[in-house]
């Protein structure tokens, strides 16, 4: 597979320029910020989170705490706010968010199905977020008809390195060039990533239904119908189409020439939208709020995760009890 152009070695230019070794947010005007805050790119972004969950440690932890199933809308909102905060270069938003993320993940650990231990702050595990952002931005820009030039790839890679450092990833755990990164990342896909229960849920059930209305329940059937006709076909196409091709091939996920043609047609429509609608009107609304100084909802706490886990166990016990009763009645 062809690799993006090699970026310059990261240590020397930063040392000469006296850049903060603790990293920095990509910030407004960066390639990463401009790509990930553009609503024209939103349909192509969910696979970034899916690729993160393909790493066994992430998929296991996400499945354990289950909020993406019990309250997917709240999970989505928190994730969106968190992403914007650590990409933003105003005030102390990014540094605070990085600290909060490390504090939250410091106690997330456990055992994988194969008996290996996992720890959320293991460098390979914790850096999967910037890893998938980097790869996602490159492929989104390509599919949107604006592939990065060699110079832009070098700039993007420095943004990625600085984001890793901001999140507490040490420089020794980061590849020196973009070419080296792709050798590492593609090996990770082929040898360690899995098509686990979390990924399966995110590529199927999670995109089948719209948000559940808590109050105006009479409107739910209309929302369901509109979603199935207008949104679901696009979501079904993009969650597979924007997955890294090696991952799609490794796990033999269904993808035909017809699917590819439909995906390219969708990208052309998104390109038209991007040409017709001014950039300021395509901003992720959360990005606009953050730029106004609004911090938004915080990360879910470990206490909340604990309560979710208990509710999940109680629900499973209730379901098993009902199943036993039904079997007995028969």
Domain boundaries, the chain: 14-298, 300-330
What is the sign, positive or negative, of the torsion defined by CA atoms of 143, 182, 51, 157?
Answer: negative
Looking at the predicted structure, is the pLDDT value of residue 215 above 90?
no
Looking at the predicted structure, is the pLDDT value of residue 306 above 60?
yes
Are 94 and 24 in contact by the 8 Å Cβ rule? The answer is: yes
Q: Can you give the pLDDT at residue 125? A: 96
Q: Can you give the pLDDT at residue 9? A: 42
Looking at the predicted structure, is the pLDDT value of residue 169 above 70?
yes
Q: Which residues are within 8 A (CB) of 122 and not within 5 positions of it... i.e. 6 or more apart?
A: 57
Q: Can you give the pLDDT at residue 176? A: 97
Looking at the predicted structure, is the pLDDT value of residue 37 above 60?
yes
Q: Can you give the pLDDT at residue 157? A: 98
Q: Which residues are within 8 A (CB) of 295 and not within 5 positions of it... i.e. 6 or more apart?
A: 85, 93
Looking at the predicted structure, is the pLDDT value of residue 16 above 60?
no
Please compute the mean of the pLDDT values over residues 91-110 and round it to a whole number. Answer: 93
Label residues 234-260 b or e (16+ Cβ within 10 Å = b).
bbebbbbbbbbebbbebeeeebeeeee
With bands split at pLDDT 50, 70 and 90, how would you rate the model's confidence at 226? confident
* Mean of the per-residue pLDDT values of the chain: 87
Looking at the predicted structure, is the pLDDT value of residue 18 above 50?
no
Looking at the predicted structure, is the pLDDT value of residue 2 above 60?
no
With bands split at pLDDT 50, 70 and 90, how would you rate the model's confidence at 200? very high
Residues linked to residue 117 through DSSP beta bridges, in sequence order:
111
Least trusted range by pLDDT, from 17-21, 211-215, 302-306 = 17-21
With bands split at pLDDT 50, 70 and 90, how would you rate the model's confidence at 309? low
- 3-state SS assignment for residue 111: strand
Report the run of H or E that residue 110 belongs to, with start and end.
strand 109-111
Least trusted range by pLDDT, from 17-21, 164-168, 194-198 = 17-21
Is beta strand 109-111 parallel, antiparallel or unpaired with respect to 117-119? antiparallel
With bands split at pLDDT 50, 70 and 90, how would you rate the model's confidence at 291? very high
Q: Can you give the pLDDT at residue 14? A: 43
More confident residue, 197 or 212: 197
Q: Can you give the pLDDT at residue 12? A: 36
Looking at the predicted structure, is the pLDDT value of residue 11 above 50?
no
Q: Can you give the pLDDT at residue 19? A: 42
Please compute the mean of the pLDDT values over residues 200-211 and round it to a whole number. Answer: 83
Looking at the predicted structure, is the pLDDT value of residue 217 above 90?
no
Looking at the predicted structure, is the pLDDT value of residue 1 above 60?
no
With bands split at pLDDT 50, 70 and 90, how would you rate the model's confidence at 66? low
DSSP designation for 81:
H
Q: Express each pLDDT in 263-278 by its tens digit.
A: 999 999 999 999 999 9
Least trusted range by pLDDT, from 93-102, 182-191, 215-224 = 215-224
Q: Can you give the pLDDT at residue 323? A: 72
CA distance 204 to 75: 17
Q: Can you give the pLDDT at residue 225? A: 87
More confident residue, 20 or 257: 257
Looking at the predicted structure, is the pLDDT value of residue 13 above 60?
no
């Amino acid at each position: 597979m062809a690799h993006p152009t090699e970026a310059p070695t990261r240590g020397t230019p930063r040392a000469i320029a006296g850049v903060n070794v603790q990293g920095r947010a990509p910030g407004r005007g960066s390639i990463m910020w401009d790509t990930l805050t553009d609503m024209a790119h939103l349909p192509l972004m969910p696979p970034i989170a899916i690729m993160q969950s393909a790493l066994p440690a992430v998929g296991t932890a996400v499945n354990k705490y289950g909020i993406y199933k019990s309250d997917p809308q709240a999970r989505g909102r928190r994730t969106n706010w968190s992403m914007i905060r650590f990409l933003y270069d105003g005030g102390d938003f990014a540094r605070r968010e990085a600290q909060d993320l490390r504090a939250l993940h410091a106690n997330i650990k456990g055992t994988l199905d194969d008996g290996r231990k996992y720890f959320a702050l293991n460098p390979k595990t914790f850096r999967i977020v910037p890893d998938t952002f980097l790869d996602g931005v490159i492929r989104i820009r390509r599919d949107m008809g604006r592939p990065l030039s060699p110079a832009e790839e070098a700039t993007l890679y420095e943004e990625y390195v600085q984001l890793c450092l901001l999140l507490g990833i040490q420089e020794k755990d980061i590849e020196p060039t973009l070419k080296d990164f792709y050798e590492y990342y593609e090996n990770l896909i082929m040898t360690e990533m899995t098509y686990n229960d979390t990924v399966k849920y995110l590529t199927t059930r999670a995109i089948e239904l719209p948000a559940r209305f808590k109050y105006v329940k009479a409107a739910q059937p209309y929302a369901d119908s509109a979603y199935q006709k207008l949104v679901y076909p696009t979501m079904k196409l993009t969650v597979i189409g924007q997955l890294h091709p090696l991952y799609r091939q490794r796990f033999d996920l269904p993808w035909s020439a017809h699917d590819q043609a439909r995906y390219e047609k969708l990208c052309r429509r998104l390109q038209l939208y991007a040409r017709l609608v001014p950039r300021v009107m395509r901003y992720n609304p959360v990005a606009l709020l953050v730029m106004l100084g609004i911090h938004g909802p915080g990360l879910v706490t470990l206490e909340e995760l604990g309560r979710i886990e208990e509710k999940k166990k109680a629900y499973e016990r209730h379901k098993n009890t009902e199943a036993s009763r039904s079997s007995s009645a028969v």
